[in-house]
Structure 1
Amino acid sequence: MSDFDVLSRAGVDEAVFDLRPDYRALLIAVDGLVPGPSDDTSEALLQEAEESARLALAQYPVEELPHMASWREAYRAFGAKPQRTRNSAEALLRRAESGLPRVNRLTDVYNAISVIHQIPLGGEDLGRYRGAPRLIRADGSEQFDTTAAGEDVTEHPTAGEVVWCDDIGVTCRRWNWRQGRRTQLNDATTTALFILDALDPMTDDELHLVGDELVRNLLPLGPEVQTHRRLIVAGRGAANDE
């Protein structure tokens, strides 16, 4: 299945839009990536993100930043406790003061963009997907592969939980809280899927600008990097942009 086919088949269930009609998902598939360790470019971007977080948190507590407050409301709407299970962007913002993780240049880029723009942004190894990504409200039978106390375990989401999944199982629990091991980025990833999650007050234009910045920082990560993009929005169809 090509990157374009994966994006064209991706979907968000109406039950999710019923929960948050303002939700939008910007999906960006990237092929031709050349794996590599953290470098001077990714380090500079992470330092920019850390400074951005310091400035933002000097004005407001993290839970009062407008987009983070919206995500906390969304978590409560499906029964999660945002004080215990924070969206990925809030978790990174809270780490920024003591220093963001340095993983590899691909992960560093998307973590930095997430912090700078205060948006949950997930990165997945698209080559490990089976079928297309879908955002659903779980029935509780779905499988999620993770670790506990250093051991591989299989968990199940709670009924009604918002999860990303493919044909095999859950790839990310609680919308954008924790990714599964099977599809996580690794040091050999050459084809990736990035999911940018937006709620009001973030606008579509702002969301696309974040996508543009992500792509701009990914293009140098290989001589033949190609990207495909799709925006999924409730009630207004979807736009595809290569």
Structure 2
Amino acid sequence: MYFEHDDQIWQKFPDLVAGVMTTPGITTGFSSDVLHDLVSTQTDRARARLSEHSESEFPEISAWRRVYSQMGLKPTQYRCASESLLRRFRKDDDLPSIHPVIDFCNAVSVAHGIPVAVFDLRQISGSLRVRPADGTEKYESFGGDVEHPAPGEIIFADEDGWAHARRWVNRQSGRSAVKPATSDILVVVEALHDGAADDVPKALDDIRQGLRDLWDVDPTSAVLTSRAPRFEI
């Protein structure tokens, strides 16, 4: 089993920096005080950044907006996951509580302005590739409906033809969403802005330390490049 981006992705978006992490051992047992402190540290950073600039001015968000334009999508209609979270956080001064690992990774996402996706590994069939859709893939929404991404749309596709994310970093699937029974996770952090080569490893380090503090686990991670595009799971 592995995670990778298709060659077409690297050719079209050579500035991409992708961080990948896996770990078992996610359980329902954790310290709520530790989680609160971890989330607060990250959201305080986001709050400080938003006090100076709106999320649309963040270089991390601007880069994704350019990518969405390249993909033929309106950046204000389809927003990357980190921009959507930042908009909500700016309005509510809070983030929704979903699951401890999601709550923490969402906080890291708003702090860094970078999309952070978390998948339940056991719901992924075989390997996972970021690639253009051919139109036959199936995507399960959080409401349980099954959709078919349009040919050419960038998706996270497994070997059984399930799309676990649509429009790259816009919308994850309910099929592999983290749930109370989730124990093994795959985390993907992607950025394309100037400085991404430094910022993605920093976000990975924050996630690694937080997972260790919450569950005493030892995550495995890597930063992918066009020359080393595959992460073995």
Instruction: Give 3-state SS (helix, strand or coil) of 2:169's partner.
Output: coil
Q: What is the alpha-carbon distance in structure 2 between the residues aligned to residue 167 and residue 173 of structure 1? A: 16
Matches within 5 A, 1:134-149: 134-147=129-142
Matches within 5 A, 1:86-105: 86-97=79-90, 98=92, 99-105=94-100
Give the drift of 1:229.
1.4
The runs of at least 4 consecutive aligned structure 1 residues that moved more than 6 Å come to 239-242
Q: 1:170 aligns with which of 163, 176, 186?
A: 163
Partner amino acid, structure 2, of 1:191 = D
Q: What percent of counterpart residues are identical?
A: 29
Give the drift of 1:155.
0.8
Q: 1:68 aligns with which of 61, 64, 80?
A: 61
Q: What is the alpha-carbon distance in structure 2 between the residues aligned to residue 227 and residue 54 of structure 1? A: 28
Per the normalisation by structure 2, the TM-score is: 0.90
Partner of 1:3: none
Per the normalisation by structure 1, the TM-score is: 0.87
Matches within 5 A, 1:1-242: 6=1, 9-36=2-29, 39-97=32-90, 98=92, 99-147=94-142, 151-168=143-160, 169-223=162-216, 225-234=217-226, 236-238=227-229
Q: Is the 8 A contact 1:229 1:241 kept in 2?
A: no
> Alpha-carbon deviations, 1:35-94, whole Å to 9, x = none?
247812222333333332232222222111101000011111111222111111111111
Instruction: Give 3-state SS (helix, strand or coil) of 1:204's partner.
Output: helix
RMSD: 2.1
Give the drift of 1:31.
0.9
Gaps of 5+ in 1: 1-5
Q: What is the alpha-carbon distance in structure 1 between the residues aligned to residue 175 and residue 117 of structure 2? A: 14
Partner amino acid, structure 1, of 2:70 = A
Give the drift of 1:174.
0.8
Give the drift of 1:33.
1.8
Instruction: Give 3-state SS (helix, strand or coil) of 1:75's partner.
Output: helix
Q: Is the 8 A contact 1:24 1:233 kept in 2?
A: yes
Instruction: Give 3-state SS (helix, strand or coil) of 2:176's partner.
Output: coil
